[in-house]
Amino acid sequence: MYATFEDYTKDFFGDIIPEESFSKYEYKARLELDRFTFGRLKGLQEIPTEAKQCVCEIAEYLYCEAQKSHSGISSESTDGYSVTYQKEKSSNAINRELYQIAVKHLATTGLLYRGIG
């Protein structure tokens, strides 16, 4: 585990993911982060703060996307009964957004470096 629920609520100031769902989305976020960092975090004794923050934001993003896809509704009005359904994002669009989150948090850490060294 790269980030705990306490990291999420106290350090990241997250309030969207319920505690009972956090482990699931932290795991999914960790998989994405490992992909972006080429597994560089796996062997570390201590996870850098930037990586914890990144995991929290990716987890929150994934949680929000899951909530949207469950409802499928982007807006609804009751007076004239109108429902607008949202288009699902492509996996490429989601991947780009997740990578941008990683860049925002990890750009200065060297964890995203694609070269050898």
Query: Are 8 and 59 spatial neighbours (Cβ–Cβ below 8 Å)?
Result: yes
| H or E element that contains 82 | strand 82-85
Give per-10-residue mean pLDDT for the chain (117 aa). 97 97 98 96 93 98 87 61 69 93 96 82
Structure tokens at 5: 């629920």
pTM above 0.85, yes or no: no
The distance between the two most distant Cα atoms of the chain, rounded to a whole number of Å, is: 62
For β-strands 82-85 and 73-77, DSSP reports them as: antiparallel
Q: What is the pLDDT of residue 76?
A: 62
Determine contact, residues 68/56, Cβ cutoff 8 Å.
no
Give the domain ranges of the chain.
Answer: 5-106
State the Cα angle at 58 between 53 and 62, rounded to 5°: 150
Q: For position 16, what pLDDT does the model report?
A: 97
d(CA 51, CA 30): 9
Per-residue pLDDT at 54: 98
